[in-house]
């Protein structure tokens, strides 16, 4: 079903189901011998949501040798690269003295529970109220405790989330580490700009942002169609093309650089190489320039 203004979701529907799919990949990667990432909560969270295709992904039952999305080795490499980038971003921010973190559209992200946060760190998670409630309740049932002071903010990012964040104790005078992982493609171009405007308004010097760098050029439509086809192949009832917002948008790095942030981009090819992997040729043909970015406000 296509997106509509004011639409909502849980972790088994619409945009929420994509968060469950990502968690399923983390669960699968965490089960491998000598895993590069370890998320002990991903598997039970996926099982609690109950989407069959995600459970099968987490258990490694969707393997198709050489397939861009269904080959288990390739799936584990992709999620390891992505997860480690954002994990390392928070670790680097903490090492620089940042003690306030915000996870936008947090979904089934468990970094507040599994990362080694310095004493005094406060982590804020923002997502739909149903998503926040489900994850918090499920993790509590597993006996999991946050590794930092966790403050959840149940609100749609299309609403006045900055006020809700401040009402939860957020300090705009303190440096903040922000992540927007797997979020931007689900926002209309103008909403993406507003998101960054709000982040900028709430950011003190020393703040940092990490998100995806989307550089598909003329290959964007081909890339989106391919991702949609792969999703259907795993049995998903959600057509990702109904969830994505296409059209011209200002790249995140350009938007932030024009507003005084120092931007660094790591391409997917570079990110894979940093983890000892080779970026697959079929992906490089349509997305070699894409990857991940960090931006810092000096």
Interval 228-254: pLDDT, tens = 666 666 556 666 667 777 778 899 999
Please give the tally of structural domains in the chain: 1
pTM above 0.85, yes or no: yes
Domain presence at residue 93:
yes
5 is a domain residue: no
Residue 223's pLDDT is what? 62
Q: Work out the angle at residue 114's Cα, subtended by the Cα atoms of residues 60 and 83, and round it to the nearest 5 degrees.
A: 55
Does any domain span residue 4?
no
Residue 3 in domain: no
- Calculate the average pLDDT of the chain: 91
CA distance 186 to 182: 8
For the chain, the residue count is 298
What one-character-per-residue DSSP string does 159-188 give?
Answer: S-HHHHHHHTT--TTS--EEEETT-GGGS-
- Within its chain, how far is the Cα of 288 from the centroid? 19
Intervals of the chain under pLDDT 70: 1-4, 6, 68, 216-241, 288
The pLDDT assigned to 287 comes to 74
pLDDT for position 66: 75
**SS3 state of residue 149:** strand
Range of the domain at 137: 14-296
Q: Domain holding 78: CATH number?
A: 3.40.50.150
8 within a domain of the structure (yes/no):
no
The span from the CA of 283 to the CA of 268, in Å, is 9
- With residues binned 3-state (H G I as helix, E B as strand, rest as coil), the percentages for the chain, rounded to 5, are 45, 15, 40
What is the per-residue pLDDT across 3-41, written as a single tens digit (0 to 9) for each?
667 677 789 888 889 999 999 999 999 999 999 999 999
pLDDT at 154: 97
Strand partners, 212: 292
Which residues make Cβ contacts (< 8 Å) with residue 239, sequence separation at least 6? 228, 231, 232
Environment class of residue 143 by beta-carbon count within 10 Å: exposed (0-12), middle (13-18) or buried (19+)? exposed
Strands (E), the chain: 100-104, 122-127, 149-154, 177-180, 208-213, 262-267, 291-296
Residue 73 backbone phi and psi in degrees, to 5: -60, -45
The closest of 64, 65, 45 to 55, measured between CA atoms, is: 45
Q: How many CB atoms lie within 10 A of CB 19?
A: 24
Beta-sheet pairing, 149-154 with 122-127: parallel
pLDDT of residue 206: 98
pLDDT confidence of residue 271: 96
The pLDDT, as a whole number, for residue 245 is: 79
* Separation between Cα atoms, residue 120 and residue 19, nearest integer Å: 28
CA–CA distance, 235 with 238 (Å, rounded to integer): 9
């Amino acid at each position: 079903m296509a997106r509509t203004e004011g639409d909502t979701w849980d972790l088994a529907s619409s945009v929420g189901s994509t968060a469950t799919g990502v968690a399923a990949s983390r669960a699968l990667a965490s089960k491998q011998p000598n895993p590069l990432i370890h998320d002990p909560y991903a598997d039970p969270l996926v099982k609690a949501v109950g989407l069959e295709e995600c459970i099968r992904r987490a258990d490694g039952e969707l393997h198709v040798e050489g397939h861009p999305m269904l080959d288990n080795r390739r799936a584990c490499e992709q999620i390891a690269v992505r997860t480690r980038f954002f994990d390392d971003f928070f670790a680097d921010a903490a090492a620089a003295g940042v003690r306030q973190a915000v996870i936008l559209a947090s979904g089934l992200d468990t970094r507040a529970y599994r990362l080694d946060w310095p004493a005094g760190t406060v982590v804020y998670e923002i997502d739909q109220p149903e998503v926040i409630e489900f994850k918090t309740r499920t993790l509590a049932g597993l006996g999991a405790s946050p590794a930092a002071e966790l403050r959840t903010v149940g609100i749609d990012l299309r609403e006045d989330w900055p006020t809700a964040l401040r009402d939860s104790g957020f300090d705009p005078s303190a440096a903040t580490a922000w992540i927007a992982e797997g979020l931007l493609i689900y926002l209309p171009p103008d909403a993406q700009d507003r998101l960054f405007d709000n982040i900028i308004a709430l950011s003190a010097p020393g703040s940092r942002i990490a998100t995806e760098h989307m550089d598909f050029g003329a290959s964007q439509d081909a890339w989106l169609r391919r991702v949609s086809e792969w999703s259907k192949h795993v049995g998903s009832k959600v057509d990702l093309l109904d969830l994505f917002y296409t059209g011209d948008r200002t790249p995140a790095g350009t938007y932030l650089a024009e507003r005084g942030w120092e931007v660094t981009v790591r391409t997917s090819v570079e990110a894979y190489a940093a983890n000892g992997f080779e970026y697959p040729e079929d992906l490089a043909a349509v997305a070699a320039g894409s990857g991940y970015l960090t931006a810092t406000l000096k």
